[in-house]
Amino acid sequence: MPFDVYLNVAVGGLLTGLVYGLMALGLSVIFGVVRVVNFAHGEMMTVAMYIAIVLFSALHLDPLIMLVPISVVLFCFGYALQAGVINPFITRPEHSQFLLLVAIAIIIINVLLIIFGPDAQSVQTSYSYDSFQVGKLIVDATKLYAAAAALAVAVALYGFFQFTAIGTAIRACADNYTGALVVGLDVKHLYALTFGLGSACVGAAGVMLVLIVDVTPSLGPAYTLLAFVIVITGGLGSMPGALLGGVLIGLTEAMAGLIFTPSAKSMFAFAILVLVLLFRPQGIMGKKAA
C-alpha cells in the first residue's frame, strides 16, 4: 500500500483523537475534582449535538459559531445537575452515585428519543464535504476545524485551572477536600462549577463531533465507554492525559483499521486499555495513589 495512504489515515486518526480527547477531558476534570464518575457523559454530549442540530436547522447557525453558547448552556445544565441532584450523593456509597448517573443517562436517551425520534440527524454546513489537498495528503476540513477548536478549548481550560483564582481554588478542593473546607472555600459551589466546566467541555466536543458524525439518541453510551477508555488510558484526573489518551486511541483505531481490519478497530483500542491497566494502572500520565 502506498505511503500516502498511511499518512492520510494517520492524520485523520490524529484529528479525530483530539476531539475524542476533549470529550474525555470533561470526564477527567469531573472525576479529578468531584470524584464522581459521570456515567451520563456521552448522553450529555448527545444533548449538545442535538442543540447544535436544532440551531442549525431552525436558524442556520454554524455549529462552530455556536460552540461557546452551547458550551455555556451545557455548563448551566452541569452546574444545576451537580448542585441540585448529584451533590446529595457525594457522601453516599459509589454504587448510589453510579445508579443515579446511569438513571440520568437513560432519562436523557429516552427524552431525546421522544423529541427527535430514532432517525440519524446531521448538520450540512457549506464545508461539510470540503477537504484540503497538500500533495498526496488529503485532510478532511471538518475534522481539521474540530481538532483546532478542541485544542483551543483544552488550552483555555488548562489556562483557567492554572492561572485564575477560581481554578486554583478548584485544584485545592481536588487536592485536599478537608483543607479546602478549613480555609473557607465554598466547596459545594466549586464542585458544581467543576461539573459545569466538565459538561461545557463535553458540550464543546459534541458541537465539534456533530460536524463529523450523525447523531441518534442512542449514540451516548458508545461515547461514554470511549471516554472511559481514553481517560483510564491517559490517567484518571489528568488533563494532559485525557488529550494524550484521545490521540492515542484515535490513532490506534485508525492505523489498526488500515493495517489489520476496520472491524477490529475497537479491539485494538481495548487492547491498549488492557496493556495500560496491566503495566501502568494509574494511566500514562496519572499519579500513583498515595
The binding site for another protein (CB under 8 A) comprises 1-2, 5, 8-9, 12-13, 16, 113, 117-120, 122, 124, 128-131, 133, 138, 140-141, 212-214, 216, 218-219, 222, 253-254, 257-258, 261-263, 265-266
Q: Which is nearer to another protein, 85 or 259 (CB)?
A: 259
Q: Which is nearer to another protein, 266 or 282 (CB)?
A: 266
Q: Which is nearer to another protein, 155 or 259 (CB)?
A: 259
Smallest gap from residue 141 Cβ to another protein (A): 8
Residue type, 260: F
Q: Which is nearer to another protein, 43 or 140 (CB)?
A: 140
Q: Which is nearer to another protein, 128 or 162 (CB)?
A: 128
Q: Which is nearer to another protein, 141 or 284 (CB)?
A: 141
Smallest gap from residue 203 Cβ to another protein (A): 18
Q: Which is nearer to another protein, 126 or 263 (CB)?
A: 263
Smallest gap from residue 92 Cβ to another protein (A): 30
Smallest gap from residue 199 Cβ to another protein (A): 21
Q: Are 289 and 282 in contact (CB under 8 A)?
A: yes
Q: Enter the C-alpha cell of residue 103.
A: 438513571
- List, as one string, the DSSP characters of the chain: --HHHHHHHHHHHHHHHHHHHHHHHHHHHHHHHH----TTHHHHHHHHHHHHHHHHHHH---TTTTHHHHHHHHHHHHHHHIIIIIGGGTTS-HHHHHHHHHHHHHHHHHHHHHHH-SS-B----TTTT-EEEETTEEEEHHHHHHHHHHHHHHHHHHHHHHHSHHHHHHHHHHH-HHHHHHTT--HHHHHHHHHHHHHHHHHHHHHHHTTTS-B-GGGHHHHHHHHHHHHHHH-TT-HHHHHHHHHHHHHHHHHHHHHS-GGGHHHHHHHHHHHHHHH-TT-SSPPPP-
Smallest gap from residue 277 Cβ to another protein (A): 23
Smallest gap from residue 121 Cβ to another protein (A): 9
Report how far residue 199's alpha carbon sits from residue 215's, in angstroms, rounded to the nearest whole number: 18
- List, as one string, the DSSP characters of 20-72: HHHHHHHHHHHHHHH----TTHHHHHHHHHHHHHHHHHHH---TTTTHHHHHH
Q: What is the length of the chain? A: 290
Q: Which is nearer to another protein, 212 or 239 (CB)?
A: 212
Smallest gap from residue 236 Cβ to another protein (A): 23
Smallest gap from residue 215 Cβ to another protein (A): 10
